[in-house]
Structure 1
């Protein structure tokens, strides 16, 4: 059987064009692969942490920060990163020098150059901090607290491991929740822009709460369009209200209200602690494994009832720490 051979005549100009196209294709797809590798490398270059501890502080709160470093943040974890967030716009030159020296020494200050640090900018401060942390670090969870809070990091990490071991696919918003806080109409926390209802939406109290990275990501990526209210913790609750698949985990071990409920050995975070109180709590925990030399309850607590309207959520009862 005879086979016919097919010959194609290609002139020199056509050959040059074909070769050029092949070379261009090789270069183009090689560039795409290189760019892809660069993105992966850039992402992998982010330091990976289990937990980011974000502490809101102030320019002149050096003693509070030093006390925290020497007490509840004195135990080092390779997968925990802590940052003290401070606004530095318009601060005194001497304060700026002191903060730069502190940053060089401890490498734990998040200095927000375009933020004036005050009670009136606290919501903007938390928003800028979330954006920075999300852009700079790869992490699983974020603990936000104030520099008058005392936290047991080891206990929080164990609880996070337990929560994940249940195989939940939900996002975590963990703290001590309030659903029946009436809107402030006067005083330093007055809200002139709150028009939704006569109560704030359920939110975790600002003395300390934990967010999984998906929620920090949601806030960071929508930072430009979020409404800022005077209260930082109220704002976070509002920002997260439309997000599906959240587990709002109310925990009485978070003593994070505007004043402490006392001292309980069950507490994971306790708010409104003086420098001396922090030292005493740390000393007690180091020597005995418990926070309190003697447990004291100065005000009653509550379990949040998610089955009723928020205005009926939070009835204080005796026997709850």
Structure 2
């Protein structure tokens, strides 16, 4: 045989190895493709199966209305049932297409309102009468064995839980006054105005007491729920340096006057020693009233327990009678409204196939027939990321009062709809419901919804017929802040002459 014959009928060992490697690579690629196709088919089948299950088990409705309502708002709910809700229930064409649910927290706050830190939450106010009630220095310097780095705090924000008088302002005594004066001032945060101030200088150093120098001010009454800030103002921050006397370490301790003052916590991720630069001196007012409260705290708790029990019993009867109340797993207080809204979307998602979802409050007039008519004429928008309402733009973030925002660190909120009523399309509703466990809540449900939806870029449909205030229009979709008697009168006008504002 020739060499060429041998070459044509027999492969070298290297060639066989290469062929085997090619085959193995090919087989691996084919196997991977098969796995991916199988996984893809499985996921598709799962989605199809889920849709089939939903279509077979969940009732389809065109509009679900969620009315956020407090547990004890019996009269407000009944006024709605007797007015704009009745118009739907008595309309055979609409009664199966629109669902109205009152969204109520499963539990009430078990703390008497007088015993809460804030009337908007459910945190207990723990208070005791301190041994010293007059001319109490609120901040003191102490030795500290913690040799961590130092965090110097140039302002103290606080809330007053019981009336006090402020009569002195102070400054850390180790701050040098040689490079210029240092001002200490008291600021009313809610009114956004300065109340009083003092100026420490080399010529007027004040009186030193327990690590701080003080100056007297005109006594100023700070009422219950006052929110303010003590701050220092200086010309050159490089000169605000603290002297560590005798080689020791120092930090500050702050009194809360037995719970009468609540100080806003400072973010301190490094666990540094805190040294407050300003201080102030206070005296407690109305001591007898405070003493009376402390003595009757137990009886207040017992009284509130009975009241909450009565509310729970009445609410249970209401649920059995009307079947239109959706209980969600929250304690029913103002600060939990965003969580309430999230749970509402989640529960509706698991109970209905809804094309649109409307949120409103139990003090609002709603023209459901007009709203439904608009949605019927625009059915194609149900999967268009639609958000329909009257929107607030560049809304200033409040830091004090009822709408105090502690978690959103920006000067303005993203665009959000005012609370009298707004509608989201099915796709937005599904997104909220499917992510309800991951969405962070903020101070109110309306601004929270704006922050959540900003992440996915909704399609805004701005319409001023969703009223943000009590300015009335004959063809409006909603109007807020109505007493039950006002809602009934408005509905009577609408039924009589077609104009809810007036029949004159």
The question of a shared fold, defined as TM-score above 0.5 by the shorter chain, is answered with yes
> 1:178–1:97: structure 2 CA closer, same or farther, 3 Å change rule?
same
Correspondent of 2:98 among 80, 90, 107: 80
Normalised TM-score (structure 2): 0.48
Matched, 1:104 2:320: yes
Matched, 1:51 2:73: no
- Partners of 2:341 and 2:364 lie apart in 1 by 16
- Partners of 2:321 and 2:503 lie apart in 1 by 37
| 2:162 counterpart residue number | none
The alignment yields a C-alpha RMSD, in angstroms, of 2.2
> 1:42–1:294: structure 2 CA closer, same or farther, 3 Å change rule?
closer
Normalised TM-score (structure 1): 0.75
Matched, 1:260 2:470: yes
| 1:270 counterpart residue number | 479
Question: Contact 1:178–1:204 (CA<8 Å) still a contact in 2?
Answer: yes
Q: CA deviation at 1:90?
A: 4.4
Q: CA deviation at 1:294?
A: 6.0
* Equivalent residues in 2 for 1:277-296, closer than 5 Å: 277-293=486-502
- Partners of 1:215 and 1:55 lie apart in 2 by 18
| 1:238 counterpart residue number | 451
Question: Contact 2:83–2:491 (CA<8 Å) still a contact in 1?
Answer: yes
- Partners of 1:86 and 1:65 lie apart in 2 by 11
| 1:215 counterpart residue number | 428
Secondary structure in 2 aligned to 1:93?
Answer: helix
- Partners of 1:102 and 1:157 lie apart in 2 by 27
Q: CA deviation at 1:267?
A: 0.6
| 2:150 counterpart residue number | none
Q: CA deviation at 1:103?
A: 1.0
Q: CA deviation at 1:290?
A: 1.8
| 2:462 counterpart residue number | 250
- Partners of 2:105 and 2:383 lie apart in 1 by 35
Moved more, 92-101 or 223-232: 92-101
Larger Rg: 2
- Partners of 1:293 and 1:191 lie apart in 2 by 38
Correspondent of 2:358 among 137, 140, 143: 143
Matched, 1:180 2:375: no
Correspondent of 2:371 among 140, 156, 173: 156
- Partners of 2:383 and 2:345 lie apart in 1 by 22
Secondary structure in 2 aligned to 1:58?
Answer: coil
| 1:13 counterpart residue number | none
Q: CA deviation at 1:41?
A: 4.3
Matched, 1:127 2:139: no
**Structure holding more strand per residue:** 2
Q: Which has the higher contact order (CA 8 A, sep 6+)?
A: 2
Secondary structure in 1 aligned to 2:476?
Answer: coil
Unaligned runs of 5+ in 1: 1-32, 296-321
- Partners of 1:254 and 1:150 lie apart in 2 by 10
Question: Contact 1:193–1:229 (CA<8 Å) still a contact in 2?
Answer: yes
Q: CA deviation at 1:162?
A: 2.3
Question: Contact 2:383–2:427 (CA<8 Å) still a contact in 1?
Answer: no
Question: Contact 1:88–1:96 (CA<8 Å) still a contact in 2?
Answer: no
> 1:127–1:254: structure 2 CA closer, same or farther, 3 Å change rule?
same
Question: Contact 2:364–2:479 (CA<8 Å) still a contact in 1?
Answer: yes
